[in-house]
Every structure is written in structure tokens, then in C-alpha cells.
Chain A
Amino acid sequence: MARKILLVDDEAGFTELLKMNLERAGGYEVRIENDSTKALAAVRSFMPDAILLDVVMPGMDGGDVQAQLQANPLLARIPIVMLTALVDSTELSEGAVAQAGSQMVLPKPVNLPLLLRVLDDILPAETAA
């Protein structure tokens, strides 16, 4: 069974190419949500195995989305990987990343092999079900 990944990022081009890369790597079913205010609904309907979440987004930022997920016991267990183009680490902490207890923060541009390794680490293997 393919592992389900939800991509939440307002950069449509970026999500489209990341989706292509993950699908080509194999074993992933990827859904894109470019509007962060709809992220919670997307999580509920898709129930992903992991969420790749951008930090700086209009409407709701990554920290807000994560806080909402944490508040819901059913959704809180879904691992989140934060993706960010922020250069200033102080800005990152303002994004409430630390408090929300995200498991991993990866900088943009994303190192794809590293991302695939991270996903392998945090997700149960495809075969192990």
C-alpha cells in the first residue's frame, strides 16, 4: 500500500514538482493543498501518513496549521516535516515550530534524497503492514 503524503505549501509549482518526484521515487500517494486554511480539512479527508508543511504561507502559517493538528488527538499523531525557505533561524522559532514539536525541519531548496530518507525513517515501510 502506498504511503500517503499531504503537501501543504502555497507555492503551486513547488508542490507540483515535489509530487512528481515523490511519485517517481515510488511508493507514495501524494495530495497537494496550496491553501493552508484548508489544510485541516484536507488532513481529515485524506488522512495522510505524513504531512510536508511549509512555514511561511498566507492566511495560516505552518505553525498555526501544526497547532490545530496538535489540538486534535486523532490528527496529532501524524508526523509532520516542516519545509522552509526561511534563512533566519530566529524567524523559524517564531513560526512556533519548536513548541508544536515537529519531528523534522528541512530547508528549501529541499535535498530530495534526504527527504526520502527522512520519510523512510518516520513512516512504516510499505510492506510492513
Chain B
Amino acid sequence: MEKHSIVESVLDNLPVAVFAKDATDSFRFVLWNKKQEEVTTLRAGKAIGKNDYDLFSQESADYFRSVDKAVIQRGSLMKVPEEIIETKNGREVHLRTVKIPVHDEETGRLLVVGISEDITEQVKSREQLERLNRHLVQANEELQRTQLQLIQAEKLESIGRLAAGVAHEVKNPLALLLLGVDYLSQGIDPGDPNVATILTQMRDAVDRADRIVRGLVDFSSQRALTREATQLDRVVDEVLLLVKHELTRSNVKVSVRIEKDLPIVFLDMSKFEQVLINLIINAVHAMSGAESKQLKIRARAETLEGVVRNEGARTRELFRSGDRVVVLEILDNGTGIAPADAGRLFDPFFTTKPTGLGTGLGLSVARRIVELHGGLLILENRGKEPGAVARLLLPTKIETGKVRTVAQPGKIDEPSKKVDTKTKKLAP
């Protein structure tokens, strides 16, 4: 019949596999188009008149039958997002299938019509993407580990630089203690007014030495990044204690102005101290030729409006207009940043210091630490006044867990069922 051959011709030229089973006759196949032959590697002649149990493994046939029955029972279309058929030659074919119940009024038969799309290539690409993504995640974790090691290495270097100064700061209270012991060991006269003073001074000296040593130990600790709610002024105090000797020795006057009631920031104390020590020591070096060396540390809260100059793109990545941030500035009156160096300041191993005075890792590590805090480090010249400013922008909110984006399978309205469709029951 003309109409019949047109339909057959259309079906055989469709890029999707089409089949139909007669639910009123043991779900025997009544339709099996060209693409279905290709996908299953079964000729229509072998399949028509057979059912799933004749063609596929028991397990697969059970599954197909259960879906077919559900389609009939529901009387509506059902989607099978992914099923796998293993062909005669052992190839796995991934299919996305839609099953539709069809009532043939002419014959009164109830059919289950299936349309399957071969998604093998898509699945393979997706799997490859997932594999690549896993590798990327691994590489990223590896990179983070390496970065933490680098941060620690740079920290050990700063400890080396600070050690002599810290020892000096500890020796002063020790000197005081020894003088106290010298005095008291010559006998204590109950009426001697000096005794009370000496004991108070000795107690203060012990506290002072203890604070310095504890500060250094905390600073040296090697841990993964652990951020805690922190008052910024506390960090600044601790850091100034550790660099006091460098500042005094270099004759640097320090003024600290930290706004009252500054919002809490979320810092890894030890790593953040590393940043500040680095920036302060840099500032001290930059001022080595200056007549009167002045280091200013300023901190204030700000609501961001628009973008910060010079760093538009980076700022836009990290902050939004209206974000509340804490701005910490370290200002020096040194030589400032030479235009030729401006673009290279954060490059690893870039240094303007003589050999032996710096590895050139300090600023690149400092910036990385600040970024790990969700913040921004900007270095620029002060403009009207001589010298440079290191400006830190820190978020006052801790970012909620970022959602890691991975390749996701398409939308599914039924759980994916993978079918191990063995072809051993091929024989009729």
C-alpha cells in the first residue's frame, strides 16, 4: 500500500531508533526501523515477532517489561534518560528513550512505541569531561598544597630576618630580671621601698618576654589556612611587637590609627601577620635613604562605591558595590615605586633589593595570602606625598561556600537506569 510504504520509508530514514511492541500480544515487537537495527545490530527480520526475553538478557528484559507495563498503566509518555544496550559485537550503546502508549483503533491493539536516541558519543564526552574535571580538581588541590608550602617557606625566611630582633626584645626583659635578682640576692631589707618596685618590674618583664616568644611561636606555626573572627587592631599590635626591633634600629617613627569599632574580619592570624610583617619590612627598606622615616598604619571601614582606581577588574571580581570592607593601609615616605617596576612588583623572584636581602617572593606570597582571605592587596605611590602605600581590602563577611561547578547530566524526570543488556539470548 502506498501509504504504508511512505510511512516505512520515513521511519527508516529517521535518525532515531523506533520500535513498537504489542502489549496485547506478550509485548512482541511489531516495528523495528533501520536505526534500531543499527543500534542493536539486530535485523528487523530477526526481531519482529520476538519479545525482549528472546532478544536480551533476563535482567534487561525484566527492566524493559516493567517500564512497558508502567507506560500502559499510566497511559502517558515516559522518559528513560539513559539506558545501555550491549550489542552482539560487545559494543555498549547508550540510549535516551521515550516510550509512548498507542492505541491502534483499527486493530484494537495496544502498542508501546519506543523512540531511542543514540547518546553514546555525548556520554563519552561527558565522561571525558568529568575525568578532566577530576584531574583539574586534583591539580588545583596540588597547587594549593604547593602554595601553602611556598607561604611557609617564605614565612621561615621572615622568621630568620626577625629572629635577631626578637632575641633583642627578649634580652631586654632578661637584663631587667637579672638586675632584680642581683639586687634582691644581696638581702631584702623589709623597709626598702625599692623591693616592691623591683618585683613589679620583674613581673612585667616576664610577661613581656612571654608575649614576644608566644607571638613568634604563633607566627611560626604551620597549619592549613584557618580563618577566625579577628579584631584587626590585635593583629597590628602583635606584628608591631615582632618588628619593633627593626623599626627602632632603622629609626622609623610609627603612627597607628585604627578606627574604633572596626568590623570583625576573618583572618588566619599567622598568615596575615606574615603579610603585614612583609609589607612593613618592605616599607622600612624603601625608607632607608629618607631623612625622617615615618611609617603610618591606618585602618578604617568603608562601603565600596564604584570600583577602586587602578584595580578595577580585580576589584570587580572580588567585591561588589555596596560591600562593607575594612581598608588597612601601610604608608611610608620612602622612594616610592619606580614606574618601570610597577607592573612587576608581584612577580615571583622580582626584587629591587641587593642580593641576600630578599628572595623576591615576599610580595607574591603576600598577595596570595590576601587573596586566600578573599581580599585585595594594592601597591601604589602616595601621589602628592613622597612614598608608597600598601592598601589591603578585606571582606567583613566570610564568603558562603562556593558551589563547585561540575559537568552535570541533563535534566532528568526519572532516575537514570543503566541496563546491562546482554545479547546472549539472541537466539529466537
CA distance A110 to B197 in the complex (A): 19
In the assembled complex, the CB of A74 is this many whole angstroms from the nearest CB of chain B, namely 27
Bound together, the chains give a CA A86 to CA B253 distance in angstroms of 20
Main SS class of interface, A: loop
Query: Residue-by-residue, is A51-92 near B (CB-CB < 8 Å gives 1, otherwise 0)?
Result: 000001111110000000000000000000000011110010
CA distance A108 to B176 in the complex (A): 9
Write out the residue numbers on chain A whose beta carbons fall within 8 Å of the beta carbon of B125: none
Q: How far is the CA of A18 from the CA of B194 in the complex (A)?
A: 12
Whether A17 contacts B198 by the Cβ 8 Å rule is yes
Q: Are A86 and B174 closer than 8 Å at their CB atoms?
A: no
- Interface residue? B171 (CB, 8 A): yes
Chain B residues near A86 (CB-CB < 8 A):
164, 168
Asked if residues B171 and A112 are in contact (CB atoms below 8 Å), the reply is no
The reply to whether A109 and B251 contact each other, CB–CB distance below 8 Å, is no
Interface residue? B178 (CB, 8 A) = yes
A14 & B172 in contact (Cβ 8 Å cutoff) = yes
Q: Is B49 an interface residue (CB 8 A)?
A: no
Inter-subunit contact B177/A56 (CB<8 Å): no
Complex partner residue of A108 from B164, B175, B197, B248, CB under 8 angstroms: B175
Q: How far is the CA of A108 from the CA of B175 in the complex (A)?
A: 5
| Contact call B204/A87, Cβ cutoff below 8 A | no
Is A85 a contact partner of B175 (Cβ separation < 8 A)? yes
Cβ of B173 to closest chain A Cβ, rounded Å: 8
Known contacts A24-B183, A61-B249; A17/B172 CB under 8 A: no
**Which of B172, B183, B204, B205 is most buried by chain A, counting CB atoms within 10 A of its CB?**
B172
Q: Are B168 and A17 in contact (CB under 8 A)?
A: no
User: Is there an interface contact between A109 and B164, defined as CB atoms closer than 8 Å?
Assistant: no
- Cβ A109 vs Cβ B175 within 8 A: yes
A21 contacts the other chain (CB 8 A): yes
Please report the C-alpha to C-alpha distance between residue A17 and residue B168 in the assembled complex, in whole angstroms. Answer: 19
Alpha-carbon distance A118/B124, docked complex (angstroms): 88
Q: Is A11 an interface residue (CB 8 A)?
A: yes
Q: Which of A60, A87, A112 contacts B179 (CB 8 A)?
A: A112
| Nearest A residue to B174, CB-CB | A109
Number of A interface residues in the complex (CB < 8 A): 25
Identity of the chain A residue whose Cβ is nearest the Cβ of B201 in the assembled complex: A13
Which among B164, B182, B197, B247 is the interface contact of A16 at CB below 8 angstroms? B197
Q: How near does chain A come to B288, taking the closest CB pair, in angstroms?
A: 12
Taking the nearest CB of chain A, how far is it from the CB of B209, in angstroms?
Answer: 11
Chain A nearest CB from B150 CB (Å) reads 27
CA distance A85 to B178 in the complex (A): 13
B245 within 8 A of A: yes
Q: In the complex the two chains form, what is the Cα distance from A56 to B247 in whole Å?
A: 10
Cβ of A20 under 8 Å from chain B: yes
Contact call B249/A91, Cβ cutoff below 8 A: yes
Contacts known (A13-B201, A17-B201); A91 close to B175, Cβ less than 8 A: no
Instruction: Give the residues from 84 to 114 in chain A that come closer than 8 angstroms, CB to CB, to chain B.
Output: 85-88, 91, 108-110, 112
Do B245 and A11 touch across chains, with their CB atoms under 8 A apart? no
Within the assembled complex, what's the spacing in Å between the Cα atoms of A59 and B248? 8
Check: B360 CB closer than 8 A to any chain A CB. no
Can you list 6 contacts pairing A with B, beta carbon distance less than 8 Å? A17-B201, A21-B182, A85-B167, A86-B168, A88-B164, A110-B175
Q: Footprint of B on A, CB under 8 Å?
A: 10-11, 13-14, 16-18, 20-21, 24, 56-61, 85-88, 91, 108-110, 112
